[in-house]
Amino acid sequence: MAYDGRILRRAAARYDEDKQRRAEQFRARQRECYRKEPRLEEIDRELSHTMAKIIASGFRRGADPRSAIEALKEENLNLQRERGERLVGLGYPADCLEPQPNCPKCGDTGWQGSEMCSCLRAYYVREQNAELSRLLDLAGQSFETFRFDYYSKIPDFEQDMSPYQRMEKNYDACRDYAYEFSPKSGNLLLSGDPGLGKTFLSASIARVVSDAGHSVVYDTAAHIFARFEAQKFDRGEDGDAAEDDVSRYMRCDLLIIDDLGTEMTTSFVQSALYQIVNSRLMTNRKTVISTNLSPEELGQRYGAAILSRLEGEYRILPFFGDDIRKLKKK
């Protein structure tokens, strides 16, 4: 699973901030307990000394250290027992002065070996969703809030089904894709006129796949191509930032390209799109593209090589019907 370095750095910073906050809360609780019962501070000091003695006895040469170690362990247990009783007497839990990791699986490191722990992954998901929310209405656009009542049930004779029936199929395909997302998933091309729910379903996919811990990047085609151009031609700070953006587009688990075809199409754009589509196919990274153009129009605009890959490697979901944005205004 690929992680976005920029988002991971933000997630790790939030993770460390919360870790430090919990540590300070523990120290404050410790000071409060010591103030109320000074004997507790003495016990903790003695406990730290007995642990040092146990370690020293284990390395002592000559006599068998096991009896001394057992005696020190018994002393340690007695001190812990006394501490627990005094804490309970003050109205605290018996173990409230024993540092406990918030995540027992990783001990609050955020990692289990080379794998990210679920605790840090939760922070990553929150930061990634915050990033996605700057472009998408993740709160309002979800599979649960999708409405079919805007789609006509009258058959479209050119399509041999009604817009309602078509959207049921598109909805099921996108929902299954999102909830079953894995390295074995394919790619989607959402094609049809504006205002038919393509961006809504793209946002729904982004939220579900992100919540599952995968790296997701959503952006408009125009902005993506602009970042490719800045990466190639800008030698200043923006060029460096564009380099990071392009890396995110190419390395993320799922790239969602919105509104392909609304940008000014140039030979550079054609080349950049081919690089995105072909490279992500070669590295087994998944892509969802939404466009107002038909596959044939995409081929005319971007070339036969692009059309071949879209038709051969993408599941094409056609959208048709009345513009929902106009219907909502009535």
Q: Are residues 197 and 319 in the same domain?
A: yes
Residue indicated by tokens 């001190």: 79
Q: Are residues 289 and 175 in the same domain?
A: yes
Regarding pTM above 0.85, the answer is no
Whether residue 57 is predicted with pLDDT greater than 60 in this model: the reply is no
Give the pLDDT mean for 37-41: 91
Q: Are residues 90 and 53 in the same domain?
A: yes
State pLDDT tens for residues 126-173: 888 888 888 777 777 889 999 888 888 888 777 788 989 999 999 999
Q: Is residue 122 part of a domain?
A: no
Q: Are residues 141 and 276 in the same domain?
A: yes
User: What is residue 63's predicted lDDT score, i.e. its pLDDT?
Assistant: 54
Q: Is residue 15 part of a domain?
A: no
Q: Is residue 13 part of a domain?
A: no
Residue 63 per-residue DSSP state:
S
Q: Is 24 exposed, middle or buried, given 0-12, 13-18 or 19+ CB atoms closer than 10 A?
A: exposed
Residue span of the structural domain in which 79 resides: 24-112
Q: Are residues 323 and 246 in the same domain?
A: yes
Q: Is residue 1 part of a domain?
A: no
For the chain, how long is the longest CA-to-CA vector?
96
29-32's contacts with Cβ under 8 Å and 24+ in sequence apart are: 29/96, 29/97, 30/97
Q: Is residue 73 part of a domain?
A: yes
Spatial CA neighbour of 110 closest among 8, 22, 252:
8
Give the pLDDT mean for 305-317: 95
**72, 47 Cβ separation under 8 angstroms:** no
Q: Is residue 274 part of a domain?
A: yes
State the total domains in the chain. 2
State pLDDT tens for residues 265-301: 899 999 999 999 999 999 999 999 999 999 999 999 9
State pLDDT tens for residues 185-203: 999 999 998 889 999 999 9
Q: Is residue 169 part of a domain?
A: yes
Mean pLDDT, the chain, as a whole number?
88
For residue 172, what is the domain's CATH number?
A: 3.40.50.300
Alpha carbon of 69 to those of 76, 98, 184: distances in Å? 10, 22, 55
Continuous segment of H or E residues that includes residue 126 = helix 118-133
Q: Are residues 205 and 306 in the same domain?
A: yes
Q: Is residue 275 part of a domain?
A: yes
Q: Are residues 251 and 103 in the same domain?
A: no
